[in-house]
Amino acid sequence: MNQAETLTYSTSSHSYLRRAKTNLVQPEPRFMFYAALELRGCVEARQDEYLEAQVRYRQSLPRSWQVGKKAKELDRIFSQDKISKITIAPAMVPSLTVYHIPVGKHLVNCVDRLGNYLHAVQFQRMNDPWWMDFKALLLETYRAAWIVCQGSLLCPPFISSGGKTSVTIEVDQNQERQVDWRAYGKPGDMVDVHVDYPNSPPLEWVCDL
């Protein structure tokens, strides 16, 4: 196996976010442009992950780079741009709380604004406010994307007329604490869940940049 065959480039939203952080902490200005590309990839991938989880309800699957069109399709499916929180409470194990964090209008707008910087750049002195504005937007976008990626619920819970719901929960293999999902049942099992719609993410979610 040659070197090219051993290289990998993960395209999950979490992987894009980790690479964005790696670039953001670099001191050289060129890494800001790499971070912008990774952040856009993060948001595009997160939208794709949400849409893939809604194969039963979606009417279209816009191309990956069409952030605005995907936002409209997600808005159509979910109808409300708000956080969802569910607590899963099986009988014999501790309860588990997971969140769905929508890719909201603010984050979509940040990604659109980043596009203004991803062109051939005219000479800018390093003390020009242009660089500070670019870095501020990168951090604003990263922090919003970080919050979105903390949620492991890929869709809000849709409650049927019979009081049942079907949810899709992702597992990030790079998380520090892994959950033994087998304790919470297998696909198709029925468990009690409590649904809530908080106004903000948990206070303990503090971004790492």
- pLDDT tens, 23-32? 999 999 999 9
Task: For residue 37, give both structure tokens.
Answer: 């590309």
What is the value of pTM for the model shown? Answer: 0.81
Residue 204 falls inside a structural domain: no
Domain membership flag for residue 202: no
Give the Cα separation of 161 and 180 in Å (integer).
31
Torsions phi, psi for 190 (to 5 deg): -110, 125
Q: Taking the CB of residue 45, how many other CB atoms lie within 10 A of it?
A: 20
Q: 209 lies in a domain?
A: no
pLDDT tens sequence across 147-179:
999 998 888 776 555 555 566 777 654 554 455
Domain that holds residue 12: 7-196
Q: Does residue 113 belong to any structural domain of this protein?
A: yes
pLDDT tens-digit readout, 20-64: 999 999 999 999 999 999 999 999 999 888 888 776 555 455 555
105 contacts 122 by C-beta, under 8 angstroms = no
Q: How many domains does the chain have?
A: 1
207 lies in some domain: no
DSSP one-letter code for 184: G
CA dist 103 and 83 (Å) reads: 10
- Whether 140 is in a domain gets the answer yes
Residue 208 inside a domain? The answer is no
Structure tokens at 191: 């468990």
